[in-house]
Amino acid sequence: MAAIAVLASLRDGLVRWLRRNEPVAGGEILLHRRRIYILPTRFGLYYALMLAVMLLGAVNYANSMAFILTFLLTALGANALWQTHRNLLHLRVGCVGAAPVFAGEEAQFQLQLTNPTPRPRYALALAGRDGPPSLFALAAGARETVAVGVPAPQRGRLSAGRLRLFTRYPLGLFEAWSWLEFECTALVYPRAAASATLPAATPDDVRRGTGGRSGEEDFAGLRRYVTGDPLRRVAWKAAARSDTLLTKQFQGAQRADLWLSWNDLPNAGAEQRLSLLSRLVLDAENAGLRYGLRLPGAEYPPDLGEAQRLRCLQALALFRLPA
């Protein structure tokens, strides 16, 4: 175990030394010669060993044909070394961004790769941390967007971290690679709890609808049934035709603005409360209810729609308890 730890420390030190002049990029990265590293693969080492044995045999038997074959294969390996390095040279890479995800999911960072040269690039691979590589090719003068998955174990801002662009083209004898790191983050929402009960509206939360006559004579439509809705408003005929309970809505009827409040939740840890609030936001949005969010030190007024959902989930993702 101690030897493994020493080797890991030496490897990390070597990586830091190689990357000492490579700051985190705020924009596009150009892969020039100083950013590209190349080493033989396992098959490349076997190939070099085979060439050494062939050379010893040619010297031992003074066989000119063995010399010719050995030098020919050596030239082939040298050309493969040049072609592998050339397959990455002068590529341009930029980070487009990543869509928000929930904790426990995988953020898909979108990277844009541009090949400004008149020659195509084959067998390219882009890998993030702890994930399988994405394989692709670039035609001459082409621009492609490639997704790289990065695990999102906890809420907050997730950095893409160090990405690795590499190739073993054309023969697999050498691997050329470059490390990429961008000022590119994804928003990670708290993991939504499995279930939570929407709170009931309080008298202060009730508002009266506008327009039309008051009372229940102006039918306004149907919405999904929510626990607590009066049974007399359930559209039983519509429910008989489908598996979903629907509630009748009337213009002029009272509608409740729900407040999803930190203080109304059970006495639990901060992350558990955020998980419950995340579930309540999703449930309220799916039910078509207007809802607001109250957190320690912040309040988001009631509203409904995609913008409200994103606003509340972002507030939960970046929430910090006041000191």
HEC per residue, the chain? CHHHHHHHHHHHHHHHHHCCCCCCECCCEECCHHHCEEEECHHHHHHHHHHHHHHHHHHHHCCHHHHHHHHHHHHHHHHHHHHHHHCCCCCEEEEEEECCEECCCEEEEEEEEECCCCCCEEEEEEECCCCCCEEEEECCCCEEEEEEEEECCCCEEEECCCEEEEECCCCCCEEEEEEECECCEEEEECCCCCCCCCCCCCHHHEEECCCCCCCCCEEEEEEECCCCCCHHHECHHHHHCCCCCEEEEEECCEEECEEEEHHHCCCCCHHHHHHHHHHHHHHHHHCCCCEEEEECCEEEEEECCHHHHHHHHHHHHCCCCCC
Whether the pLDDT of residue 257 is over 90: the answer is: no
Is residue 13 domain-resident? no
* Total domains present in the chain: 2
Rounded-to-integer distance, Cα 47 and Cα 15, Å: 26
Task: Average the pLDDT over each of 93-102, 109-118, 192-201 and give the range with the smallest value.
Answer: 192-201
- Mean pLDDT across the chain: 83
Q: Based on the domain organization, do 53 and 158 belong to the same domain?
A: yes
Of 163, 188, 213, which closes a domain? 188
pLDDT at 48: 94
Of 157, 188, 219, which closes a domain? 188
Q: Based on the domain organization, do 49 and 85 belong to the same domain?
A: yes
Taking only the tens place, the pLDDT of each residue in 142-163 is: 999 999 999 999 999 999 888 9
Is residue 12 domain-resident? no
Taking only the tens place, the pLDDT of each residue in 260-319 is: 999 888 877 889 999 999 999 999 888 888 899 999 988 999 988 889 999 999 999 999
* Mean pLDDT, rounded, for 74-98: 94
Q: Based on the domain organization, do 253 and 108 belong to the same domain?
A: no
Is residue 41 domain-resident? yes
Of 131, 157, 188, which closes a domain? 188
* Structure confidence at residue 218 as a pLDDT band (50, 70, 90): low
Is residue 125 domain-resident? yes
pLDDT at 118: 94
* Structure confidence at residue 13 as a pLDDT band (50, 70, 90): low
Plot region of 265 (φ>0 → left; ψ -120 to 50 → alpha; else → beta): beta
Is residue 2 domain-resident? no
Residue 219 belongs to domain spanning: 203-317
User: What's the pTM value of the predicted model, to 2 decimals?
Assistant: 0.72
Q: Based on the domain organization, do 277 and 229 belong to the same domain?
A: yes
Q: Based on the domain organization, do 174 and 209 belong to the same domain?
A: no
Q: Based on the domain organization, do 136 and 27 belong to the same domain?
A: yes
Q: Based on the domain organization, do 90 and 213 belong to the same domain?
A: no
Is residue 45 domain-resident? yes
Is residue 209 domain-resident? yes
Q: Based on the domain organization, do 51 and 106 belong to the same domain?
A: yes
Is residue 5 domain-resident? no
Whether the pLDDT of residue 12 is over 80: the answer is: no
Q: Based on the domain organization, do 135 and 178 belong to the same domain?
A: yes
Q: Based on the domain organization, do 313 and 229 belong to the same domain?
A: yes
Q: Based on the domain organization, do 108 and 132 belong to the same domain?
A: yes
Q: Based on the domain organization, do 213 and 174 belong to the same domain?
A: no
